[in-house]
Amino acid sequence: MGGPVVFLDKDGTLVEDVPYNADPARVTLAAGAADGLPVLAAAGFRLAVVSNQSGVARGYFPESALAGVEARLRGLLGDIGVSLAGFYFCPHHPKGTVAGYAVACDCRKPAPGLILAAARTLGTDPRECWMVGDILDDVEAGGRAGCRTVLLDNGNETEWAPGPHREPHFVVKDLAEAARVILANGRA
């Protein structure tokens, strides 16, 4: 196995939330990222993005536009001494308008498919990993995959719909606090 991974939701968690953004120039790190992520990396955690990108299915931008977003994100993380182990996204949405993407899938969070696929690719056991996100769909996906979960309570969750796997292990304000919680609670 390749060791533990902290899976990070992208919009509203790792980067500031700009709805349906595919413009790399508008990608900026979220609060606490520059403080928390280097600490996690130094402790041996790999970092990977797992993100719903329904803008593809909705026709707002082509899937190829996400390569520029990924490159920008890798550059921003490189500036703080952090590498990204993987960038995984779900381009689907059942109510999309683009043929081939307008489907129900097992990779769209809250389903666990994206995390499970990323874990396989990265050679890790999800039970040794963490999922950090800003909404309960992120928490549910992580819980269903077997990860421990951290919710960033930054105002982005608006529904607070209860259900199985939707109770986070920890609730924090930003990625710096998330890193402290993850380090204090170690590996599974």
- Give the DSSP per-residue string, the chain: ----EEEE-TBTTTB---TT---GGG--BPTTHHHHHHHHHHTT-EEEEEEE-TTTTTTSS-GGGHHHHHHHHHHHHHHTT---SEEEEE---TT-SSTTTSS--SSSTTSSHHHHHHHHHHT--GGG-EEEESSHHHHHHHHHHT-EEEEE-SS--------TT-S-SEEESSHHHHHHHHHHH---
**Domain limits at 171?**
5-185
Which amino acid is residue 166, in one-letter code?
Answer: R
Q: Specify the pLDDT at position 132.
A: 98
User: What span, in angstroms and rounded, lies between the C-alpha atoms of 148 and 139?
Assistant: 9
Domain CATH code at residue 177? 3.40.50.1000
pLDDT of residue 186: 78
Average pLDDT over residues 75-87: 98
Q: Looking at 11, 134, 137, 138, which residue is catalytic? A: 11
Q: Which two tokens stand for residue 36?
A: 């928390």
Task: Look at the pTM and tell me if it is higher than 0.85.
Answer: yes
Q: Rounded distance, CA 113 to CA 110, Å? A: 9
Residue 188 has pLDDT above 80, yes or no: no
Q: Residue range 70-74: average pLDDT?
A: 98
pLDDT score at 187: 60
Selecting among 9, 134, 137, 138, the annotated active-site residue is 9
* Total structural domains within the chain: 1
- Angle 73-81-34 (CA atoms, 0-180°, nearest 5)? 70
Q: What is the pLDDT of residues 11-25, one digit of tens each?
A: 999 999 999 999 999
pLDDT at 100: 95
Per the prediction, the chain carries an average pLDDT of: 96
Give percent of the chain above pLDDT 70: 98
> What number is the average pLDDT over the span 101-123?
98
Active site (annotated) includes residue 9: yes
* Predicted local confidence at residue 158, as pLDDT: 85
Stretch 114-137: mean pLDDT? 97
